[in-house]
Structure 1
Amino acid sequence: MAVHEHSHRSPAPHQPSAAGPAARAGTRPGRTHALALLRLVTGFVFLWAFLDKTFGLGYATPSGRGWIDGGSPTKGFLGSVAAGPMRSTFHSWAGAAWVDVLFMLGMLGIGLALVAGVALRLTAVAGTVMMVLMWAAEWPPARTLADGTPSMSTNPFADYHVVYALVLVVLAACSAGDTLGLGRLWSGLPFVRRGPWLR
């Protein structure tokens, strides 16, 4: 009798395993939010550098020596390049108005794009070019620069410029602007749909 009753029971509903689709889908929001947080923090790094160099907030740029006070955001860094194959080029660029404008627009544009979550592909390209040039300005690594200040670069390959460039590439490849950002809205704009490199 017990066997007969058991044979007529409705089968138990299927329970997904811990590794099933539901479990995998449940971890996705965590990953996307982690990438969004990385995007926002990285964007703030660029925006803070722009603000500090523009207004001389007293951190990397002393008070009264900001861009709006007539200071140059590139003269000190590029003028202190002590070695490397592009030393003379960087010295000739140091303090040039066009270099200052391009550098500051780059910092502002990259920071705003990251915070908003838009144009991440273009941002990754522009940011990587900027980081490669800054990496080259500190290569080969030295303990001190020409003016005697300590060098931030002590690793000839994986210094912080390389890390930032890789972060930008990863954020663009993972569409990190779609979460906590305007990425989806931006991608739906007609001119962006016509030019996928703008996404």
Structure 2
Amino acid sequence: MAVHGHPHRHTRFHLPSRRRTGAAQAGDTATTATITATSYVFAGLRLLTGFVFLWAFLDKTFGLGYATQSGRAWIDGGSPTKGFLGGVAVGPMESTFHSWAGDTWADWLFMLGLLGVGLALVVGIGLRLAAVAGTAMMAFMWIAEWPPAQHLSDGSASMSTNPFADYHLVYAVVLIALAAAGAGATWGLGRAWARLPFVSRNRWLL
């Protein structure tokens, strides 16, 4: 007796295509390499930006001879804010900045801001707080150099080469981007910091 419709007679087994599997693996490898390269780029940008803030703190504190000459440093009794805020000659907050120039609270707040943002970026922790604090600092400094005027070393003002996108705004955007990208995980302590119980319960500390 002939048996029709044998269940295995017309069954075809499709083996996975080696070419398709290889292409998928290549795509995964390329994606991983891109992610890794991006994380390294952000880490390098984080470290460089952190050094900018830390160097400003060190130079103003000890008078290393760059922006702050020896003898005019903070530890020598100089004021980190008096010259800059006192020289503001334009903008809607001119009189306010003049009243703040050289005040002890302004000096301490400015210097602690530089130190805190710099350390957070270099170590790779608290990037969200650093972004908020750093952006606020950059905003005030941008207002103090209100376009189209740009202050010169002798206290005079000249026309700015760019009335909007100066370096203060660039730094602010960089700080926000680093925090959004979680750039502290590579070449930093960001991953270990995020695992701490009080940080995991308060995500704004990341």
Which residues of structure 1 form unaligned runs of 5+?
A: 1-9
Deviation of 1:152 (Å): 9.8
Of 46, 57, 60, 1:53 maps to 60
What do residues 49-88 of structure 1 show as CA deviations (whole Å, max 9, x unaligned)?
Answer: 0000000001000111000000000000000001110000
AA at the equivalent of 2:147: P
CA distance in 2, matches of 1:126, 1:144: 24
Which structure has the larger Rg?
A: 2
Query: Please, which moves more after superposition, 138-147 or 175-184?
Result: 138-147
- Matches of residues 147-162 of structure 1 in structure 2 within 5 Å? 147-149=154-156, 154-162=161-169
1:197 is aligned to 2:201: no
User: Does 1:125 pair with 2:144?
Assistant: no
Identity, in percent, stands at 67
Matches within 5 A, 1:1-199: 13=18, 14-16=21-23, 20-145=27-152, 147-149=154-156, 154-199=161-206
1:129-171 Cα distance to aligned partner (Å, 9 max, x none)? 0000000000033254594356695422111000000000000
Whichever residue aligns with residue 174 of structure 2, its letter is V
Whole-Å separation in 1 of the counterparts to 2:124 and 2:152: 36
Contact 2:46 2:121 in 1 (8 A): yes
TM-score (norm 1): 0.89
CA distance in 1, matches of 2:162, 2:16: 62
Mapped contact 1:45–1:111 kept (Cα < 8 A)? yes
Alpha carbons of 1:15 and 1:148: their partners in 2 closer, same or farther (altered >3 Å)? same
Contact 1:81 1:146 survives alignment (8 Å)? no
Local SS of the residue matching 2:22:
coil
- Structure 2 segments unaligned to the other structure (5+ residues): 1-14
**How far apart in 1 are the matches of 2:194 and 2:159?**
37
- Do the aligned partners of 1:142 and 1:154 also contact (CA within 8 Å) in 2? no
Partners of 2:117 and 2:57 in 1: CA distance: 10
Q: Which runs of 4+ in 1 moved over 6 A?
A: none
